[in-house]
Structure 1
Amino acid sequence: MSVLDPEAIVPEQILTSVCTGLVVIDRCSNIVRLVHYTAQEYFECHRELLFSNAQANIAAVCITYLSFGIFGNGYCYNIRELNLLLQENPLLDYAASHWGHHARGETEETSAEAVLQFLRKESNVACARQVLTYRRSQRFSASFPEDSFGLHLLSFFGLKKVMRRQLQHGARVNSKDMYHRSPLAVASKNGHDGVVRLLLAQPGIDVNLKDTDRRTPLLLAAKNGHDVVVGLFLARRDVKVNLWDLDGRTPLSFAAGNGYAAVVKLFLERQDVKVNLWDYYSDDRTPLSFAAGNGHAAVVKLFLEREDIEVNSKDIKGRTPLLFAAENGHTAVVELLLERHEIEVNSKGWLGRTPLSLAVKNRHEAVVRLLLGREDAEVNSSDITGRTSLSFAAGHGYTSVVRLLLERAEVKINLWDSGNRTPLLFAAKNGHEEVVRLLLEREDIEVNSRDQDDRTPLSFAAGNGHAAVVGLLLKRGDIEVNSKGRLGRTPLSLAAKNGHDQVVKLFLERADVEVNSMDLYSRTPLSFAAENGRDGVVRLLLEHHDIDVNTIGQLGRTPLSLAAKNGHDEVVKLLLARADIEVKSVDLYSRTPLSYAAENRCDEVVRLLLVRMIST
């Protein structure tokens, strides 16, 4: 048949009936399936007996379908036309993508004639090739060299017997598809060693032909881990093993980076292979660097058996194989590399970070233990921002790693980074209670260290509401409770501003806390809490015996004025409960609390203020 006859399509009822209940059609998904998994198990166990010709039959159906006249117009010239063709012909996608898989293997001999007849229909083959390319790469193309269809399709599906017959009729072995890939390249990429062996035996075959990405058949085979195919190429003297592709990667580089140990081993047996050849478009990384960075211990072990291997090779950013392995937490690879006596444990990357600092930063505890097992590991090394391993561990709350670092006698716990921030400051800022506790156990800890904005660990912990950390710091006898930052704000002021009730309560239990401390703009803890509607904090502050409820800010505004202006009726109510509150205070713009509340239509605040003013 050359067209699909709708009248010949078997109704669903007949399909299910002749299958005697073993097959059902799911009404929701419209999927045909076996009625029970035991039926599937039975058919799978007796596949060859019951369905000996299944693959050949499916191949014949697909080839017949692809040979229909509707697909004889060749390839589509735009993606809209192609999508419409796929939509109107539902079997086209599957048939074009899988006909060759069904025709390969034991059924290839019986399917050979049908395949050859199909390949003679150049327009139909062009259509099938376009669909296959589009579905595999999701890239539309209407540019296909006409002489590339047959052999390339046979190479893609691995149809060795059919290809032999094509080659006998003078098919061009070095023909190129739209990516400039030869049939040999296509077969190599897909691991069809039988087809590769057949093509390599052809006179005039170009084994080093490059595609548009400058990738050779050998590179494509190595990149995809096809060790048998790679072995076929490496057995030839004319194959070039060290060619770079467009990205500067070599066949060995891809095999190592993807962890194909069997392929790497084959390459290392070649005397002309360059094991330390860097990839100039991939940051100058070597094959060992790629293998180490991706955690392929078996491949790394093969490289380390070579006397000429450069274990400390650096890429364009100064990163070594050890640094990549440590950063990514590949414990087994790190262990292998550390066995080399010439390994540079403290090598730094472009940001000045060592393997240890990167392992700490990414919380790879097992790697940290291995690196700290080396006496020459520098625990106080800092990156370009001044951050040390301890700084990273403390800032991220890695308690176990902090404990490991503190066991080193030479560790400096008060080192500043570029912003004058210490490990304790980072831990306090991020609320890591256990880390803070460990650091405070050290006698040489500087609890009042100040960053470039004059903020202390206590200031950050209070401002961020970390009550447990604040509690630990306040137990220190040398703690500066009222330390001021660059803007003159105390830890209490910051906690009040951000509404951290529990932290404020801890400060108010201290006899030495300055409850009315002012910042550079004459703002107090109470004015911050009132302005931001922190009624819980306001309630706590008003209970303090030294609180001044009428402090005047830079613009002459009192806590009541700020609360009224922003419509915080609960705060206004608390303040108005004070007998000493000044209801009619005037700021620098001659505005009263009532004026602000009325302007902003804060009805409840206006009502509260009027009641208080009338009563007084």
Structure 2
Amino acid sequence: MLLAGSLNQQLADNPNLDEDYVAVLQQTNSTKELDVFEIISSDPVSSPPKKNFRENGSSEEVLKRKVKWRDNLFNAVASRDENKLKDVVNKLKATGISLTDSDLRDNVGRSLIHFAAEKGATNILLYLFSICEIDQIFETFEIQVSGIRSTKGVIHILTEKGDIQTLQTLLEKVEDLEKRRNYGEEATTIQFEGIRPREMSAMHMAAALGKTEIVELLHRLGGVSVNTTNHKNDTPLLWATRFNRVETVRHLIKCGADINLSNDKGSTPLHWAIRHGYKSVIRLLLDTAEADVNKERKVGLVTCLVLASALGDEPTVRDLLKHGASVNTRIRGKETAIHYAAARGYSNVVEALLEHGADVDAVNDLGETALMVAVEANRTRTTAVLLRNKALIDIENKEGITPWHHAMKPVDDNLLKLLIHFYRDQSGKLVLRDGVKTPLHIAAMCGKIEKIKCLMENGASLHVLDENGNCLLHSAARADQAAFIQNVLEIDESLANKQNFNGETPLHVAAKLGNEESVKILMRKCKMSKKNKLGESALHVAVKSPLVSEELIDYMVAVTVKTYSSALADSQNNKGDTALHTAVREGRVEILEELNPLTPTAENADGDTPFHMAARHRRPQLLETMLAVFAESGKTLELDKQNAAGESLLHIVAKTGNLGHVALLIQAGASLTLKDKQGESVLHRLVLLEIEASVEEDETKLSNCLETFDTVIDNAVRWWSNRQSCAIPEQDTESYFAFKRQACLYLLDMDANKLGFTVIGLAASTGAKRIMERIFKIPDVFCFDDGDASLLKYDVTNLTGYTRVSRSVETMKRKTEEESKIPLLEEETSKPSSTSALNLIVKLECVSKANSLLDIQPMKQLVQNYWSEYQWLYVVLMFLHIVYMSVLSGFCFGMVQKAKLEKIAFFPYILLLIWPGLILTFLAYYLFVQMLRRCRRKRKLREPGQSFVSWCVGNIAQFSCVLFIATDCLFLFLCWGGKGETACYFLAVALVTGWLFTINFTKGFENVHAFSIMLRHIIIRDCVRFLLLYSFVLVGFSFALHALFQRGGGSGDINPAETIFNAFNMMIGMSSIFEDGDHDVYVKVVYVLYITLSTIILLNLLIAMMNDSYAAVKGKEGTTWRVGSIRMALKLEASLPCLPYIFGKLRRGKQLKFDKQVNRWLLSVPKKQLRSAESETEQNQMLIAVRRLETETATLKRFLTTIVDKIERVDEQVMKMAAAADEAKTNKQKKKYKAKSILSNLKRLPEISFLKKKSGGGTDK
């Protein structure tokens, strides 16, 4: 706060100096008293122009007479001719005109009484008092003081003139004491020279003017309190103090004036006396009245001690301390008195404060001590006093500044030598300890070599370290004191390689801050091999700092390579980063050209080269600039180099979605088939990125992924040409299309990852729909338009098992010359899996995702063709089964009747075993194949994570088939054995299971398939859960009813099982227990409870569950059918390997053909289907978008409604709070006014009583 040595700086920096104190501080230190104070004359306000006399209802003659009377009256007063005045007054009375008539005032509004008082005509004034009423005497006139309008009365004029006799006569004329006090407290505006205008009563004026007798008169006779205040809460004592009126001050104190009353700024008389240096008043206030020396003002130097110390008033400071002033009181800014005394250089005041226990090391808000401000202000004597009292020298303020800093500023060394003198040890040497910021460091920061020499002459060591282990060269380098560094190195070169606790040399520090001159000087002496704790050389630090220019980087690299070696320029830090790595990490594009001599293929601890880091950085210019800079230098770029994670540059830029970088790297020769650590190429990685973006619902990420895929495909020809080491063919030529087809087929359908998935296979196995769509739309690769207006051809090779198998056979038989040209890059490519894309799609757990893939052309057309033959197979099988069940149902009952009588013949009934035998053979073969495959793959019978119940539900068709075959065979064997009655039991089961088994064949029909699934869901899930709950209800109530039947009657002999059966019948309304009518109310209550719980609640709950199951299955009907049908077909193919070959022959026709020229399967799809599919897709997308918008709109509407409701509630609360606040404010004002009134009456009560006693009237209450 108060830091500077000059007054002007104090005034600018210190908010504690208000305007009143500024005026004092700008004075000299002399305490000259002003004996005479002049009241600046007030300007009477001219009376407003007289209204037209006709408007006043008077004649012109009357007005002229009044003007004549007024002139005669004022002339008589001016000539002090009392007789003439009396004569004029008597004549005026005869005319009926009052002496106080407004027309008889002068042009400034003064009455005759005001004029006489100002002229000092005492006798005339007394005469006028005798003939005028009291209210007429105390009338006021308007005045204007420095633009402020006010009023002035006769009591103010008499007080100003000091006419005590006339004033006494005037007051005695007023009989009412209350009126006397009111007249005495009336205020007028007064302006003393050098002071702003103030409102003052007569009491204030008398005190300020030193009119002690008038003060006594107003208090004794006028009843005016000695503690009366004006609008600024100034007391008479305050103004008597202001003008050094010692006797008046003494009299006011004697009359009971409160010495500690403060005005609106909190100033007391003691504050004003100290401010103006009135020693006599100060002693009077301290010795006689015992003023509160610790009372604080509201603004400025708030305590008396701080104020006296700032003014250098030693006697007053000692008097204040003697009377108990707190020596360490802190004002705003946490400054104490010693701060101000030290800043002004009042050494005697500082000594006085220290003698009374002042804290020599007290700090303010800025962390500054008295010693700091004294040294900063160059107060040598005060500094010596503080140092003798053991003030701390090494202490820092909040900006890290110590007294040593300030001692370095003056030209002379007086302050520095003084600090050194008190800092020396007993041997007389200057021993600077490590761990603090020493004078050496401060001198280095200031670049004061002469100060360094002074310190060295006194025994200081140049190798001392600060708290961070920095030597003086570190500090000089930080401040860029190049000349100082040069001078110090001439004294001691070893300091150049000194390292601080972070391992930094001065060169590190200078390089970090971009101090060019310091760096150039230090590089001549400092070892470039020195590294900090992070393993960084000075070059690392320089490239990391944005403060370092390209010129300085170029200089450092050139010197390092030329003086040392390029290996040192490529030195690595603890993370393995070279300076080039660091520059890329910091995104410093502008210095890459200067780092051209460095190695661009160096790897860090993560295996990243600078190119990897540039590809990953958010600034795209980095990679582009690096490729341009280092390509021109002729260095090997090694763009296919992989980091520790196996990522190449293409993997990284593909992940970031920078299309320009993808194209740029392919053009520069980056490989598209290079695998990362997980065995994924760039295109494989893009497939996985699509899935990741879809899960995260990140449209931006998904868009970047697809655009990157398109960019890779667009640049595939360039990559293929680089692989073939041949020129890139011109676009739209046959060679170009051939190259594009070869490249895309290799990348998408031949290049496999570690798991054996090609890009198409990975997209199929993960559900990457968008990339699958783009693959099949690649023109002249997977999609061909031969000019046919109605058909498009698609390459569907390897999409199904049939096309893959057929292709392998054809390839084994012959290879075309064109295909033999495609090089198999065995070192990069794994063997593709034999699983077709269709198999991978239907294996997806998410049925909707699999269905969306099957909805893509040509998959949609391929699936339709693929299933049609298997659908006919189901039709034939179902027809055969129905025929068999019809024959069995028709002949079984005749067989039973014959079997009851005798054994029946085997023929022709043995023919009934043919169909069950065929089914059993197929089932056994199917189970054998499944077990064999699972054993080969070392997999259990159940899928991982599949429960036993779900496994049983999934194989319910097989179980029903086995049950049907077993009961059917047993029925026939029993009939052949002549046991017809026993055979009936097995026949019943065989008929039920046989006819129900027919449902299994409905899977081949889309319209019926959903109902078969629905039936399974309802029976297995809903009915089982219902029966589980109902069984407990049924058993409980059945036994309850059975217990009630035991009381008597015929029902008591019924078996409990019979009761349970009857209870079940009651639930469905098939039976009743009240047919005999012999049951009481209790039984009926139990019955009602049972019916309510079972029929009304549980049965309706079952219906609701079945409705939900129906809706769920119906909603997924199309999706479930398409995927389910293909799964069934693939299972049949897996069970019977001959089926694909048989059906494949049937499929080969106009739509599906094998092109022997390119060894690929081609599928023809009508363009009409494509257009309808695209239209349907657009409609679906629009519907989805509309629904999404509707949902968001509804959500937003609810949100806005909620906000409006909350705003309305808040508004109501605010209105209530505002009303309550207004009411509280009104009540508070009423209470405050009432309290003031009571307090005023209490204050006046002792004075009134005193005056009444003096006058002999009244009693003291």
The answer, yes or no, to whether TM exceeds 0.5 is yes
User: 1:484 is matched by which residue type in structure 2?
Assistant: E
Alignment equivalent of 1:304, drawn from 397, 416, 422: 416
Which residue in 1 is equivalent to 2:1109? none
Which residue in 2 is equivalent to 1:355? 472
**Does structure 1 retain, via aligned residues, the 8 Å contact 2:577–2:604?**
yes
Which residue in 2 is equivalent to 1:77? none
Q: Displacement of 1:472 after TM fit? A: 3.5
Q: Displacement of 1:512 after TM fit? A: 1.8
Mark the CA change 1:558 to 1:397 in structure 2 (over 3 Å): closer, same or farther: farther
CA–CA distance in structure 2, aligned partners of residues 448 and 59 of structure 1: 81
**Does structure 1 retain, via aligned residues, the 8 Å contact 2:260–2:291?**
no
Q: Secondary structure at the match of 1:435?
A: helix
Task: Report how many aligned residue pairs link the two structures.
Answer: 499
CA–CA distance in structure 2, aligned partners of residues 576 and 262 of structure 1: 78
Which residue in 2 is equivalent to 1:318? 436
Output aligned runs, 1:552-563, within 5 Å: 552-563=675-686
The normalised TM-score by structure 2 is: 0.34
Which residue in 1 is equivalent to 2:288? 170
Q: Displacement of 1:360 after TM fit? A: 1.5
Mark the CA change 1:174 to 1:365 in structure 2 (over 3 Å): closer, same or farther: farther
**Does structure 2 retain, via aligned residues, the 8 Å contact 1:56–1:111?**
no
Output aligned runs, 1:167-316, within 5 Å: 167=285, 170-172=288-290, 175-177=293-295, 185-189=305-309, 191-194=310-313, 196-200=314-318, 204=322, 209-211=327-329, 219-223=338-342, 225-227=343-345, 229-232=346-349, 234=351, 239=355, 243-245=359-361, 254-257=370-373, 259-261=375-377, 263-268=379-384, 273-274=387-388, 277-278=391-392, 282=395, 290-294=402-406, 297-298=409-410, 301-306=413-418, 308-310=421-423, 314=432
Is structure 2 residue 172 aligned with structure 1 residue 55? no
Which residue in 1 is equivalent to 2:1187? none
**Does structure 2 retain, via aligned residues, the 8 Å contact 1:259–1:291?**
yes
Output aligned runs, 1:71-470, within 5 Å: 108-109=243-244, 120=257, 125=262, 128-129=265-266, 150-152=269-271, 154-155=273-274, 157-158=275-276, 160=278, 163-164=281-282, 166-167=284-285, 170-172=288-290, 175-177=293-295, 185-189=305-309, 191-194=310-313, 196-200=314-318, 204=322, 209-211=327-329, 219-223=338-342, 225-227=343-345, 229-232=346-349, 234=351, 239=355, 243-245=359-361, 254-257=370-373, 259-261=375-377, 263-268=379-384, 273-274=387-388, 277-278=391-392, 282=395, 290-294=402-406, 297-298=409-410, 301-306=413-418, 308-310=421-423, 314=432, 317-326=435-444, 329-332=445-448, 335-340=450-455, 341=457, 342-365=459-482, 367-369=484-486, 371-372=488-489, 374-375=491-492, 378-408=495-525, 411-430=526-545, 432=548, 433-439=550-556, 440-442=558-560, 443-445=563-565, 446-467=568-589, 469-470=591-592
Which residue in 1 is equivalent to 2:712? 575
User: 1:611 is matched by which residue type in structure 2?
Assistant: K
RMSD: 5.2
Q: Secondary structure at the match of 1:540?
A: helix
Mark the CA change 1:204 to 1:437 in structure 2 (over 3 Å): closer, same or farther: closer
**Does structure 2 retain, via aligned residues, the 8 Å contact 1:218–1:241?**
no
Which residue in 2 is equivalent to 1:48? none
Mark the CA change 1:113 to 1:523 in structure 2 (over 3 Å): closer, same or farther: farther
Q: Displacement of 1:522 after TM fit? A: 0.9
**Does structure 1 retain, via aligned residues, the 8 Å contact 2:244–2:278?**
no
Q: Which has the larger radius of gyration?
A: 2
Which residue in 1 is equivalent to 2:605? 486
Q: Displacement of 1:555 after TM fit? A: 2.9
Q: Displacement of 1:528 after TM fit? A: 0.9
Mark the CA change 1:391 to 1:169 in structure 2 (over 3 Å): closer, same or farther: closer
CA–CA distance in structure 1, aligned partners of residues 475 and 251 of structure 2: 59
Of 365-374 and 567-576, more deviation after overlay is shown by: 365-374
Mark the CA change 1:462 to 1:114 in structure 2 (over 3 Å): closer, same or farther: same
Mark the CA change 1:482 to 1:348 in structure 2 (over 3 Å): closer, same or farther: same
Unaligned runs of 5+ residues in structure 2 are 1-44, 46-141, 148-189, 205-229, 425-429, 690-700, 718-742, 784-794, 796-1261
CA–CA distance in structure 2, aligned partners of residues 116 and 591 of structure 1: 112
User: 1:496 is matched by which residue type in structure 2?
Assistant: A
Normalized per residue, the structure richer in helix is 2
Q: Displacement of 1:534 after TM fit? A: 2.4
CA–CA distance in structure 1, aligned partners of residues 196 and 629 of structure 2: 82
CA–CA distance in structure 1, aligned partners of residues 775 and 296 of structure 2: 82
Q: Displacement of 1:538 after TM fit? A: 1.9
Q: Displacement of 1:219 after TM fit? A: 1.8
Q: Displacement of 1:186 after TM fit? A: 2.6
CA–CA distance in structure 2, aligned partners of residues 261 and 173 of structure 1: 34
CA–CA distance in structure 1, aligned partners of residues 506 and 541 of structure 2: 12
**Does structure 1 retain, via aligned residues, the 8 Å contact 2:654–2:662?**
yes
Percent identical among aligned pairs is 13
Alignment equivalent of 1:495, drawn from 614, 617, 625: 614
**Does structure 2 retain, via aligned residues, the 8 Å contact 1:351–1:384?**
yes
Q: Secondary structure at the match of 1:395?
A: helix
**Does structure 1 retain, via aligned residues, the 8 Å contact 2:440–2:472?**
yes
CA–CA distance in structure 2, aligned partners of residues 173 and 419 of structure 1: 66
Which residue in 1 is equivalent to 2:628? 505
**Does structure 1 retain, via aligned residues, the 8 Å contact 2:465–2:471?**
yes
Q: Displacement of 1:379 after TM fit? A: 0.7
User: 1:125 is matched by which residue type in structure 2?
Assistant: S
The normalised TM-score by structure 1 is: 0.65
CA–CA distance in structure 2, aligned partners of residues 491 and 403 of structure 1: 27
Mark the CA change 1:206 to 1:355 in structure 2 (over 3 Å): closer, same or farther: farther
Unaligned runs of 5+ residues in structure 1 are 1-9, 11-17, 24-50, 66-90, 133-148
1:431-461: CA deviation from partner (whole Å, max 9, x where unpaired)? 7432332222242141221111222122223
CA–CA distance in structure 2, aligned partners of residues 346 and 421 of structure 1: 24
**Does structure 2 retain, via aligned residues, the 8 Å contact 1:533–1:563?**
no
Which residue in 1 is equivalent to 2:663? 539
CA–CA distance in structure 2, aligned partners of residues 123 and 168 of structure 1: 11
1:310-357: CA deviation from partner (whole Å, max 9, x where unpaired)? 37565783321222343xx3235x642433322322311121111211
